[in-house]
């Protein structure tokens, strides 16, 4: 355990809860049902690995590399048996207000003013109270360099013949639409790109994605700077993660993290007026 000396005890997000430093060089992934468009939204939601994303139908992955260090709010209330709980219900005073990704734009913009006040670049939070975690960056698309754009197709190997025939028909339509040059639909990766709105996408088989797009925190570890009240919660989670052989991204990113605990006494939970 590492502790930091007390500094001025302002009743703010960093002191009451904490923050995470995302290092330059870290890979982040934007997974969605539509292609990524730079600066399309105020917030960009990212994961550390695509295992946290459930693929169905038409999906896209954009792989990014951070081009500078970023600091995000540690928006975690609790971690129980590997499942993290968001601080959002506590901050908003609404027990049902749990899923940040499903907030309307006006709510997200209202939340952002509290981040801006403390010069935070976004937040680190759970995905719907499960084992997945995400980063929401506020107006920070310029901090991300695009490494790869991928179009995900269904698995052509492990489906029954009827489903396979339907998928092949769909793929032929996709091939014609995007002017794909490669006719081998059984490969895990189709090296020829598809072009959509002058943006190139590599087509890859759905089955190889989880093992290919993973955290690189072994080389670029996170730095957690969190309130001492999280110490037991995090240490229990680290023990569980080791027992489970670091099975998913949330466990992996904490494996090599530098964790600092600080003590702040007499501070009250904060409320967001949104």
Domain boundaries, the chain: 13-147+209-262
Tell me the percentage of the chain whose pLDDT exceeds 70.
Answer: 74
Give the closest residue to 226 by CA, choosing from 27, 78, 101, 69: 78
Higher pLDDT, 95 or 152: 152
Highest mean pLDDT among 9-18, 54-63, 97-106, 213-222: 213-222
CA distance linking residue 165 with residue 67, whole number of Å: 43
Three-state secondary-structure class, residue 6: coil
Compute the average pLDDT of residues 208-225.
Answer: 92
Name the region of 39 (left: φ>0; alpha: ψ -120 to 50; beta: rest): left
> Which of 19-28, 37-46, 64-73 has the weakest average pLDDT?
37-46
Query: Quick check: 216 pLDDT over 70?
Result: yes
Q: Is the pLDDT of residue 233 over 70?
A: yes
Residues 110-159: pLDDT tens digits? Answer: 999 999 999 999 999 998 778 889 999 999 999 999 999 998 876 544 43
Neighbours of 46 (CB within 10 A): 22
Closest CA to 151 of 182, 189, 124: 189
Asked if residue 7 has pLDDT above 50, the reply is: no
Contacts of 20 (CB under 8 A, 6+ apart): 71, 72, 74, 124, 222, 223, 224, 225
Q: Is the predicted pLDDT of residue 82 greater than 70, yes or no?
A: yes
Q: What is the pTM of this model?
A: 0.81
- Range name among 59-68, 154-163, 229-238, 259-268 with the lowest pLDDT average: 154-163
Q: Could you give phi then psi for residue 203, rounded to 5 degrees?
A: -90, 130
Average pLDDT over residues 241-257: 95
- The DSSP-derived string for 127-168 is STTSS-EEEEEES-GGGEEEEEEEEEE--SSSS-HHHHHHHH
pLDDT above 90: percentage of residues in the chain: 50
pLDDT score of 87: 92
Q: pLDDT of 168-214, one tens digit each?
A: 444 444 444 444 444 444 455 544 444 555 567 888 877 778 888 99
Rounded to the nearest 5°, which phi and psi values hold at 62?
Answer: -115, 120
Identify the helix (H) or strand (E) that includes residue 112: helix 105-117
pLDDT of res. 175: 46
Count of alpha carbons within 13 Å of 207, Cβ hemisphere only?
A: 8
pLDDT band for 67, please (50, 70, 90 cuts): very high
pLDDT of 56 reads 61
The mean pLDDT value for 86-98 works out to 80
More confident of the two residues 129 and 82: 82
Asked whether residue 28 carries a pLDDT value surpassing 90, the answer given is yes
């Amino acid at each position: 355990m590492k502790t930091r000396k007390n500094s001025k005890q302002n009743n703010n997000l960093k002191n009451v809860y904490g923050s995470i430093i995302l290092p330059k060089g870290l890979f982040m992934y934007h997974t969605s049902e539509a292609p990524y468009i730079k600066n399309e939204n105020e917030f960009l939601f990212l994961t550390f690995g695509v295992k946290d994303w459930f693929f169905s139908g038409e999906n896209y992955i954009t792989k990014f590399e951070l081009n500078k260090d970023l600091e995000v709010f540690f928006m975690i209330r609790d971690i129980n048996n590997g499942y993290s709980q968001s601080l959002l219900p506590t901050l908003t005073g609404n027990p049902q207000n749990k899923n940040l990704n499903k907030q309307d734009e006006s709510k997200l913009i209202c939340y952002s003013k509290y981040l801006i006040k403390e010069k935070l670049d976004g937040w680190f939070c759970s995905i719907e109270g499960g084992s997945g975690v995400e980063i929401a960056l506020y107006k920070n698309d310029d901090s991300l360099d695009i490494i790869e754009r991928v179009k995900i197709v269904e698995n052509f190997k492990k489906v029954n013949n009827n489903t396979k025939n339907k998928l092949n028909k769909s793929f032929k339509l996709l091939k014609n639409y995007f002017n794909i040059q490669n006719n081998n639909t059984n490969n895990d990766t189709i090296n020829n790109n598809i072009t959509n709105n002058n943006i190139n996408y590599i087509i890859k088989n759905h089955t190889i994605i989880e093992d290919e797009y993973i955290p690189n925190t072994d080389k670029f570890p996170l730095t957690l700077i969190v309130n001492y009240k999280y110490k037991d919660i995090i240490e229990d989670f680290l023990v569980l993660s080791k027992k489970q052989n670091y099975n998913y991204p949330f466990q992996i990113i904490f494996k090599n993290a530098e964790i600092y605990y600080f003590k702040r006494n007499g501070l009250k939970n904060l409320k967001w007026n949104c």
